Structure 1
């Protein structure tokens, strides 16, 4: 059985939520985890910084390198990825986890907010992947994993928040392209998306409010699915748009109750872009 022991994983936006959960899951397998995010100091409303997550990673059995990074800064992205590869002696996986969301239609969306979503979602996937490529080529089991949805062209996913949808789908389309482009290098490129709502700050503050959290699962389900993907080679798995629950079912998981954010029998809400 393969593990992530001594593998170096670079995670963007990993100071809380799904990114933090993936970081800790990788750490439990003995990985070197680079937490690259903007939260150098505590946020007034949200818990967690790159430094507190680094402490958690070390406590979980991994090595940690916290780096301040805004994924919109192309020069800094390259600098941080090179710095991480030099610190740990290589790079094995890039996880494009940083994201920006605003569930608004075109009429009332500020262009500056669209620019932010485009830069943090779509553009950063290109910038980070491009910067990581030279290091990934030297890895034995290299991966690029982006947290973006399968392409579902039902108009309902565009009707009320087409700008956000377009930037997340751009991540997926770029990943489909990179899977083919980088196949000759043996680099696996996939996407991962939750089947159900995940209880995160993004949901609490941008996509429904705190009352929605009870209808979701903990970020741990995405973390366990991500680790499963990272433990496979490009020959086994590349060019796929994966759903967390389906990944774990293939691994033999049948009981998903422990992943519930709030125990009980209330129906879970299916996530955006999933029918």
Structure 2
């Protein structure tokens, strides 16, 4: 199975996991739409749609960089049309863009909740809706959202219910769209890491770069996504998948290569994952 010639529309692909998935697919010769807000490199976070586009082409893929705010439904529709016209269609949508603020209800600015809801939950609806007309014409269409299993343990709500709600909303849309889009042959899944991943979100939202000693590299998520996206005819669909689980299903037993740093510290289990 290969992604050669397939067109992937990836939101938030200017860095982190989105970038890693783009580069993995590019190695097959895929067409990658890098859709993100960052037209210029962020002074702290690095990366832009144009730097990733160059990396995609160097890795063997074709790239189209589109500056996009996923909160703008009109801009999303235009971007999907542009991507489909440029590459002759869209085969895969990856809802990777995300916003995080680990705060409880008492101290959270409601505008920040709006931001998380719009970039997390609402964007999955908007982007999936805009991509669907093109996915219907694909031989093996996929929607993959980066969202967690639905773990209703109260500890995930006690300190940061607003963020939890917006991420669980993405996963509930996965469950719903899997049923709704089944007649169109679209595989719809969510993917989430078992451990924290060495990304800017961890560095700036969860406690600093020292946590990288307990993290895995983003390429574990790219490899897991690849297993899902190369599956055929809804063989994998309607699932809220953990990266390590899908890789074990594909035969991987040694995960040491994914460790970010040589460290004796125990890997930190990510939010929403049962230990």
2: CA distance between counterparts of 1:21 and 1:234?
Answer: 25
Show the counterpart of 2:51.
52
The CA deviation string for residues 24-70 of structure 1, in whole angstroms up to 9 with x for no partner, is 00101111000000000121211110000000000111000000000
Paired residue secondary structure (1:178) = helix
2: CA distance between counterparts of 1:92 and 1:7?
Answer: 6
Q: 1:117 Cα shift?
A: 0.1
Runs of 4+ in structure 1 over 6 Å off: none
1:131 equivalent to 2:130? Answer: yes
Q: 1:263 Cα shift?
A: 1.7
Paired residue secondary structure (1:19) = helix
Paired residue secondary structure (2:8) = strand
Show the counterpart of 1:229.
228
1:1-275 aligned at under 5 Å gives the runs 2-275=1-274
2: CA distance between counterparts of 1:11 and 1:226?
Answer: 12
Q: How many residues align?
A: 274
**Contact preservation (8 Å) 2:213, 2:263:** no
1: CA distance between counterparts of 2:209 and 2:264?
Answer: 18
Paired residue secondary structure (1:207) = helix
Paired residue secondary structure (2:173) = helix
2: CA distance between counterparts of 1:174 and 1:43?
Answer: 31
Q: 1:151 Cα shift?
A: 0.2
Q: 1:197 Cα shift?
A: 0.4
2: CA distance between counterparts of 1:255 and 1:56?
Answer: 28
Q: State the TM-score, normalizing by the size of structure 2.
A: 0.99
Greater shift, 207-216 or 142-151, is seen at: 207-216
Paired residue secondary structure (2:194) = coil
Q: 1:265 Cα shift?
A: 3.2
Paired residue secondary structure (2:33) = strand
Q: Please, which runs of 5 or more residues in structure 2 have no aligned partner?
A: none
1: CA distance between counterparts of 2:206 and 2:180?
Answer: 34
Note the aligned Cα RMSD (angstroms). 0.7
Greater shift, 84-93 or 42-51, is seen at: 42-51
2: CA distance between counterparts of 1:44 and 1:239?
Answer: 38
2: CA distance between counterparts of 1:125 and 1:216?
Answer: 26
Paired residue secondary structure (2:207) = coil
2: CA distance between counterparts of 1:224 and 1:98?
Answer: 18
Greater shift, 37-46 or 132-141, is seen at: 37-46
